[in-house]
Structure 1
């Protein structure tokens, strides 16, 4: 186990980013179509093909998922991943037509200091094509891909990942792009809210403070009282090798949202998007009640860990007034 999303067999991840614009794309590629659904808890989401993922709609499997910076302009990223998949002959077949199924979601990183004067067309479709072409079993964490320009209220955000295995041998893994309106750390200290779920010191092993003061529990929001609804969003992809129906994948996404509440303070705000995709590759059967509940428990814990790892691994942007990274402050 690499403690990455790619601990699920048949899943590959690729990044492409541009330092000058301080933004990028991450592509999650499934070697075979994966049953998938979505849960959205934030008030400011930006998604593509989210309706397709609802359990009552017809198409139940996806070929890839595209995550991008750029706010709504980044929704073009799914088209770039589709282009790469189409060249591989991948997609839903309807007679002679082949249609790659690529839902996507975006986070807002347009005010982070990068040069967004890119001309007529945003670069996200081309970045996404490059990310899909680069997808493999190993990938970097931190300020890369869709996490390149991500921020939180007090520290540089980034892209993180983590994995776990149930007692029955079912694997679940998460990838998170952390661009939250809130804080991933407690107060002004080095402690991560996700500390109780940390495994093997994966984000510094600092634990929690001995006690919590009123100041630690105050809201620390990106932008303070001037915060606006479009400047944030945490994006998560949870994948398991369990066999799930589309309805069960929806329930897994819903339970996995708990991990955001464990790792970000506050979460699910009107200022966030807070999107969780859940996908299943269908290798291992599970009990539909206890088994799915246990899987959801591990998924939520894994999401919390992935969020903390994303901030822990991030590096500050090279611009004036850029937020420091966790490593700058506490490493």
Structure 2
């Protein structure tokens, strides 16, 4: 691990948030300096997305200008329009004759029942939030926890949030994850402070507690949100390696493995778990094993990012809001 342990450890991209605590929701955008090879996979049973079909390796378009993660369920799909507006202002987009069309795939999570004020009138606020997130996008450090797409996120046990982590292969390729954790399941082991992702933790980035010394049946029992279907974990895995679109698709699947190692259970029928994958193409692969190691680190990095998102989250300012990990366990 090096740099800031964030997605922005990868050169050639920026991350921006728009956070509305009154709404209890928000938007996070990844903006690429140059169009990036991209793909993705949906393994949750109740997804919501925009322009996700074009990410299939068999489809024509190879590159994207930005990726958007948003709250708001289907209403949140307006956010990509705001990001497109910002890109269009800068002359960005796929050339189609004399026109330019910014390519901005998006995934959404369900946070409509988290206590925020969702009485927004005729039009949802997400297009404006998308534009705000785009204009706020910067390189370097960015906030984690209850910000951007992680603002209204929850899990079965404690408040969810936005997390990120990075790693470096032996040949110097950077692999980094960004994820909004709004899981139907739990990122923590039972009612303990331990994270399922503990075996992959680096430098006590989410508390350094490790796993429990022993596992009980209670630790392994199902913990889920039940009938309150406020679920879906959405994210992206990015590398600075040169990848094909097919390789990016495979990378997204390996990042889903990381999600499944960090949340129990993941990919439920009421989850819409979606992970994008992108490659900026700064560094060629040097050896046949390079891609294998990139995939290996994608699994670990996504798991770490999930735990960081929950660890850094803060409770929303509502009387009945879900308690955060830090509310419960930092006092013990």
Q: Same fold (TM over 0.5)?
A: yes
| Partner of residue 78, structure 1 | 80
Distance 2:285 2:194 in 1: 35
In the alignment, which of 150, 167, 170 is matched to residue 167 of structure 1? 170
Matches within 5 A, 1:9-158: 9-137=11-139, 138-158=141-161
Contact 2:21 2:317 in 1 (8 A): no
Query: How far did 1:320 drift?
Result: 2.2
Distance 1:197 1:298 in 2: 10
Contact 1:221 1:227 in 2 (8 A): no
Describe the SS at the equivalent of 2:248: helix
| Partner of residue 231, structure 2 | 232
CA offsets 1:146-192 (integer angstroms, 9 cap, x no match)? 10000001100000000000001000100010000000000111000
Distance 2:80 2:288 in 1: 34
Distance 1:256 1:145 in 2: 21
Contact 2:187 2:307 in 1 (8 A): yes
Describe the SS at the equivalent of 1:265: coil
Select between 3-12 and 312-321 the one with higher mean Cα deviation: 312-321
Contact 1:23 1:149 in 2 (8 A): yes
Distance 2:276 2:97 in 1: 29
| Partner of residue 248, structure 2 | 249
**TM-score normalised by structure 1 residue count:** 0.97
Matches within 5 A, 1:287-306: 290-306=289-305
Describe the SS at the equivalent of 1:74: helix
**TM-score normalised by structure 2 residue count:** 0.97
Contact 1:176 1:303 in 2 (8 A): yes
Query: How far did 1:227 drift?
Result: 4.2
Count of residues in correspondence between the two structures = 327
Distance 2:49 2:289 in 1: 31
| Partner of residue 199, structure 2 | 196
Distance 1:40 1:263 in 2: 17
Describe the SS at the equivalent of 2:224: coil
Contact 2:186 2:223 in 1 (8 A): yes
Distance 2:19 2:326 in 1: 21
Describe the SS at the equivalent of 1:216: helix
User: Is residue 2:217 matched to residue 1:218?
Assistant: no
Note closer, same or farther for the CA distance 1:134–1:124 as it changes in structure 2 (3 Å cut).
same
Q: Following superposition, which runs of at least 4 residues in structure 1 exceed 3 angstroms of deviation?
A: none
| Partner of residue 180, structure 1 | 183
Structure 2: gaps spanning 5 or more residues: none
| Partner of residue 260, structure 2 | 261
Describe the SS at the equivalent of 1:12: strand
Distance 1:195 1:241 in 2: 26
Contact 1:155 1:324 in 2 (8 A): yes
Contact 1:227 1:271 in 2 (8 A): no
Distance 1:142 1:267 in 2: 20
| Partner of residue 286, structure 1 | 285
Distance 1:288 1:19 in 2: 47
Query: How far did 1:47 drift?
Result: 0.8
| Partner of residue 320, structure 1 | 319
Query: How far did 1:269 drift?
Result: 0.9
